[in-house]
Structure formats: C-alpha cells, structure tokens
Structure 1
Amino acid sequence: MRRLLNFLYNSAAAAAALCMVGLLFMVMLSIVSRQLGFNARGTDAYAGYLMAGAGFLALAHTLKMGEHIRVTLILNALKGGLRRALEIWGLGIASLLSCLLAFYSCRLVWQSLQFNDISTGNDATPLWIPQLVMATGTVVFAIAFVDDFILELLGKRRQNISGEMLRNE
C-alpha cells in the first residue's frame, strides 16, 4: 500500500511538472505569435489552466516532502504526549478540511459538466476539463493528509524536515 501511495504522490508531482512544461510552451507560443504577427487564440486561458493544474497537482507531493509552511513555534516547545496530541489534532483538522476541499472540487466539476459551462474567453473550453485537474489534485492532497493522519495515529509517521529552518537570511 505504501508503494502505491508513494506512486500516486510522485505521479501527481510528475503531472504538475508536465503542466509547468505546458505553461512554458503556452507563454513561448504567445511571445512568438506576437513577434511573427499572428494570433494564437486562447494561450492566456490555457496558460492559466496549466498554472492552476501545476499548483493543485503538486500539493500532495509538497506535503509529503515536508515543504508546506507550518507554524511550529508552539509545537517545537512541546514534548512527548502533548506534542503528539497536538500533531494528531492538527492532522485531523487538516484531513477534514482537505476532504471538504476535494468534495467540493469534484462537485464543481460535476456541476460544470451538467450545466455545459464553458470558458468566457475566446477559447470556449468546457470548464469541467481544467476543473478536473484541480479536483484530481485536491483528491490526492486529501489522501496525503489522511495518510499522514493515520500514520501519526499508528506512531509510524516520519516527518521530512524542510531545509528552510537551516537558512538564516
């Protein structure tokens, strides 16, 4: 199961990287089209969709690598059972909120599909397509939080410490 979850998180990160490459391509196409005097319609909209996709798909992998911003002032001052209780409480709340985010993201995709909602830009993209990428990212993010919550309950959670604390500027 651990290998499957790690594969899921890494696959979402790889998809986020592909979105970033697509974003670069859209920006380059927009620049080249202006220089050569033709109009590549929809590049701004697609660049926005790809940027959002990259952000949402990278959430779970970033969480598992310990790179999300955490306010640890109180947590670092605590030791033993109290610290673990606060970790469990925080991960429980985060799991609940991320599951709600995933639910409502999936609901938005479903509603856009039902209403045949399309982009108001000149690309006229059915909005469920870019929203599906967002919903996928939020579902994988929720799975990652529930995974961390269960690992913490079982006492098997291994935290990746970000290198951010080592940098003094």
Structure 2
Amino acid sequence: MRRLLDFFYDAAAWLAALAMIGVLAMVLTSILGRLLNFHLPGTDAYAGYSMAAAGFLALAHTLKKREHIRVTLVIGRFAGRTRRALELWSLAVATLLAGLFAFYSCRLVWQSHLFNDISTANDATPLWIPQIGMAVGTVLLFVAFVDEWVLEITHRRQPDEHDEEAQHHE
C-alpha cells in the first residue's frame, strides 16, 4: 500500500511539473505572437488552467515531502503526550478540511459537466476539463492527510527536522 500511495503522490507531482511546462508554453506562445504579429486565442486562459492544475496537483506530494509551511508556534511549546495529542488533533482537522475541499471540488467538476458550463473567455472551454486538475489534487491531498494521520496514530510518522531540533533543546 505504501508504494502505491507514494506512486500516486509522485505521479501527481510529475503532472504538476508538466502543467508548469504548459504554463511556460502558453506564455512563450503569447510572447511570440506579439513579436510576430499573430494571436492564438485562449493562451491566457490555458496558462491559467495549467497554473491552477500545477498548484493543486503538487499539494499531496509537497505534504508528504514535508515542504508545506507549518506554523508550530503553539505545538512547538509542548512535548510528549500533549504534543502528540495536538499533532493528532491538527491532522484530524486538516483531514476534515481537505476532505471537504475534495468533496466540493469533485462536486464542482460534476456540476460544471452537468450544466455544460463553458469558459467566458474566447477559448470557450468546457470548465469541467480544467477543473479535473483541482479535483484530483484535492482528493490526493485528502488521501495524504489520512495517510499522515494513520502514520501518526500507529507511531510510524517521521518527525520533522525542526521538531527534532526543538526537542533536543528542551
């Protein structure tokens, strides 16, 4: 199961990287269009879609690599059982919020498809297509938080480097 989850996190990160290349391609196409006097409709919209997909698809991988910004102002003051209880509570709340975010992101994709919602820009893209990146990214973030919560409950979660440093100074 661990290898499968890590595969999904890594695959999403690679898709995020491809989406960033998509942003670059759209921006370069727009710049070249201005220089060479041609216009490719939708480049701005597709750059935006790609940027959103990159951000959402990278969330789970970033969490699992411990690259998210964590504010430890409160939790860093505690040790032992109190600290662990706060970690579990924080992960539970984050899991709940990520689950809600995933649910409503998937619901948005479904409703956009159901209502045939189309971009108001000149590209007229069915919006459910670029919204898939957000839905997949938020579902994977939810899975990653559940993963972290289970690892914490079973005492298999690796402590952050900063957490280790703080505990050594106590």
* Alignment TM class, shorter chain as reference: over 0.9
- 1:101 paired to 2:115: no
What is the rounded CA distance, in whole Å, between the counterparts of 1:99 and 1:31 in structure 2? 39
How far the C-alpha of 1:69 sits from its partner, in A, is: 1.3
Two-structure CA RMSD over aligned residues (Å): 1.2
Work out the percentage of aligned pairs sharing the same amino acid.
62
Q: 1:52 to 1:77 in 2, by over 3 A?
A: same
Aligned residues: 163
Asked if structure 2 preserves the Cα contact closer than 8 Å seen for 1:64 and 1:160, the reply is: no
Asked if structure 2 preserves the Cα contact closer than 8 Å seen for 1:66 and 1:161, the reply is: no
Runs of 4+ in 1 over 3 A off after TM superposition: 159-162
Matches within 5 A, 1:114-129: 114-129=114-129
What is the rounded CA distance, in whole Å, between the counterparts of 1:114 and 1:16 in structure 2? 26
Q: Which residue of 2 aligns with 1:53?
A: 53
What is the rounded CA distance, in whole Å, between the counterparts of 2:67 and 2:53 in structure 1? 18
Q: Which residue of 2 aligns with 1:149?
A: 149
Asked if structure 2 preserves the Cα contact closer than 8 Å seen for 1:41 and 1:122, the reply is: yes
- TM-score when normalising by structure 2: 0.93
Q: Which residue of 2 aligns with 1:86?
A: 86
Q: Which residue of 2 aligns with 1:10?
A: 10
How far the C-alpha of 1:52 sits from its partner, in A, is: 0.3
How far the C-alpha of 1:160 sits from its partner, in A, is: 4.4
Unmatched tracts of structure 1, length 5 or more: none
How far the C-alpha of 1:159 sits from its partner, in A, is: 3.5
Question: Does the residue aligned with 1:22 lie in a helix, a strand or coil?
Answer: helix
What is the rounded CA distance, in whole Å, between the counterparts of 2:50 and 2:161 in structure 1? 29
How far the C-alpha of 1:65 sits from its partner, in A, is: 1.1
What is the rounded CA distance, in whole Å, between the counterparts of 2:14 and 2:145 in structure 1? 19
- TM-score when normalising by structure 1: 0.94
Q: Which residue of 2 aligns with 1:139?
A: 139
Query: What amino acid is the match of 1:125?
Result: T
* Range 95-104 or range 71-80, more displaced: 71-80
